[in-house]
A = this chain, B = another copy of it.
Amino acid sequence: MKTGDQYRQSIVDGRSVYFEGEAIKDLNEHKVMNMAVDEIAKAYDRFYDPTPGAQNPLLGAPKGLEALRDRVYKLSESADVLTTTTYQSLATLTSAAPKVGETRPEYVERMYAFQDFVLKEDVRLTECITDAKGSRSSSPSKQIDKDVYVRVVERKSDGIIIQGAKLHITGAAFGHFLMVMPTKNMKDGEEDYAVACAVPVNAPGVKIINTTPAPRGDEIRHFPVSGRHVMPDGFVILDHVFVPYEHVFLDGEGAYAATFAHSLGLWERLGGTAFMADQADVLVGLAQLIAEANGTAGIAHVKEKISEMIIHATLIRGCLEAALAHSKETPDGFVFPDELYTNAAKYHGAANFNLMVRHLHDIGGGAIVTAPSIADLENSDIAPYVKKYMSTDGQNGEWRTRLFHGIRDLTADSYGGWHLVTNLQSGGGLYAQRLVTRKHYPMDHAKQLALKEIGLNAD
């Protein structure tokens, strides 16, 4: 296993990474990027075990219902983002293997060998699904620019050469391998787009442009959440990148291309649901805390709004629990959460996050965005006034000020805006989540129930 320091050194490997127009030599040294490095390094240290052969306990695919539930809750509690993306990538390989094996067994062998390598070397993977896509109304082979979906441009004796870009890749610049996967099944004539493989971040031809809602200015203390942990997203360019066959998990079988995306989708939505369940509890907690700090916790309409937030939080967690309780087990003992409950919960959480935020803002009041800063609390000309006038019942002016900062940072500033978008879009967007929910719903059963209820025979 790697220590945090070993991780820090491992990413100074010649990778081409950028931020706001500049190439970054060493992510460890960059004023904005280093925050993400720190967080990943801390997670390495947290799970480090010097015993020979030790492995990170959060990474392998779980076996048995209890292990799955335990994993879901442990990841929420203590994992950094890259541990999660690595775990989801490995679980995806595990789920996809039986199906992919139908076409060419060597794919499965390579996938298992790669899994072992990842666990042994304690490296991190990021999930590269979304293509540039060009016009959404045309399929890959009908695009004017053929590269807008990642594709194989050459096949050599020892490997393939791929070209294209993958967008919105959380943490791409900070891991060791990019898990490149197609977004959907490919038709005849689109075989070159049916490619799944693992690509080292420092491979020649890989370039990653970072974007992030992390704070830019000097006053990082104004951002109690995003000043501590935000993972940049990567715009991943794959320009004529060579991939040796041992890291190629699919090449040309269009009918199997969606297998990876479907598997990853389930794990991503499960993770997203668990995240949103916690996030919903956090928003409820903040609403209650600020109502108490404002002296409004006993007012009827405030209580009603918090009750609505509670019900929302409970619905997400309830469906998450149902998804776990109805997990399916494979012959090998691996478990997968129920698709129907997972997707419905993910949809509901994503679709109503904005309403949760509205309630919090409604309860909190304008000081969410107008509370003076930490620096104002340190200027002796004005600090006494800030403390005095931010107080309720003669106490806690500073604490209440900091509570407002937390609410702003989480929900009404750059990081909050990032969540508004990513909660909706992660796991494929509202439309995709609806579609998948529908696909897994027992419609025939519902139709039979309906006919029985109205006393009619099937047509």
Known A138-B295, A289-B450, A448-B285: A209·B425 in contact at CB below 8 Å: no
Q: CB-nearest residue of chain B relative to A378?
A: B21
Q: Does A75 contact B (CB under 8 A)?
A: no
Query: What is the predominant secondary structure among interface residues of chain A facing chain B?
Result: helix
A219 touches B219 (CB 8 A): no
Interface residues of A in 206-244 (CB under 8 A from B): 207, 209, 211, 213, 215-219, 222, 224-225, 228, 233, 235, 237, 239
* CB nearest neighbor in B for A281: B446
Known: A307-B438, A406-B454. A165 touches B389 (CB 8 A): yes
**B455 A421 Cβ-Cβ under 8 A:** no
Binds B, one of A81-89, A175-183, A362-370: A362-370
Q: Does A421 contact B369, Cβ atoms closer than 8 Å?
A: yes
Instruction: Report if A399-B21 is in contact (Cβ < 8 Å); known contacts: A209-B372, A390-B132, A449-B285.
Output: no
Known: A235-B372, A319-B322, A370-B211. A303 touches B385 (CB 8 A): no
- In Å, the complex CA distance between A325 and B325 comes to 7
From B237, B318, B451, A318 is in contact (CB under 8 Å) with: B318
Bound together, the chains give a CA A234 to CA B199 distance in angstroms of: 52
Q: A132-B389, A148-B389, A310-B437 are in contact. Are A406 and B284 (CB under 8 A)?
A: no
Within 8 A of B (CB), among A407-424: 407-414, 416-418, 420-422, 424
CA distance A164 to B31 in the complex (A): 41
**In the bound complex, do residue B456 and residue A224 qualify as a contact, i.e. CB atoms below 8 Å apart?**
yes
> A167-B370, A213-B413, A225-B455 known; A144 and B285 CB under 8 Å?
no
Judge whether A22 is part of the interface by a CB distance below 8 angstroms: yes
A301 and B431 in contact, given A373-B211, A386-B235 (Cβ under 8 angstroms)? yes
Cβ 8 A contact of A392, one of B135, B348, B435: B135
In the complex the two chains form, is A417's CB within 8 Å of B412's CB? yes
Stretch at the interface among A190-198, A260-268, A338-346: A338-346
Q: Are A299 and B137 within 8 A (Cβ)?
A: yes
Shortest C-beta distance, A424 to chain B (Å), equals: 5
Q: Are B344 and A311 in contact (CB under 8 A)?
A: yes
* Contact yes or no, A412 B403, CB < 8 A: no
Task: Give A425's nearest chain B residue, CB to CB.
Answer: B366
Residues of B within 8 A of A286 (CB): 450, 454
B416 touches A417 (CB 8 A): yes
Given A455-B225, A459-B399, does the pair A285, B358 have CB atoms closer than 8 Å? no
A101 to B449, CA, bound (A): 43
Q: Which residues of B contact A412 (CB under 8 A)?
A: 417-418, 420-421
Whether B322 contacts A237 by the Cβ 8 Å rule is no
Partner of A315, one of B137, B218, B344, B394: B344
- Taking CB atoms, residues of chain B closer than 8 Å to A313 are 441, 446
Report if A445 contacts B (CB, 8 A).
yes
What is the distance, in angstroms, from A246's C-beta to the closest C-beta of chain B? 27
| B314 lies within 8 A of A441 (CB) | yes
Which 4 pairs of residues, A with B, have the shortest CB-CB distance?
A21-B375, A406-B454, A285-B450, A216-B217
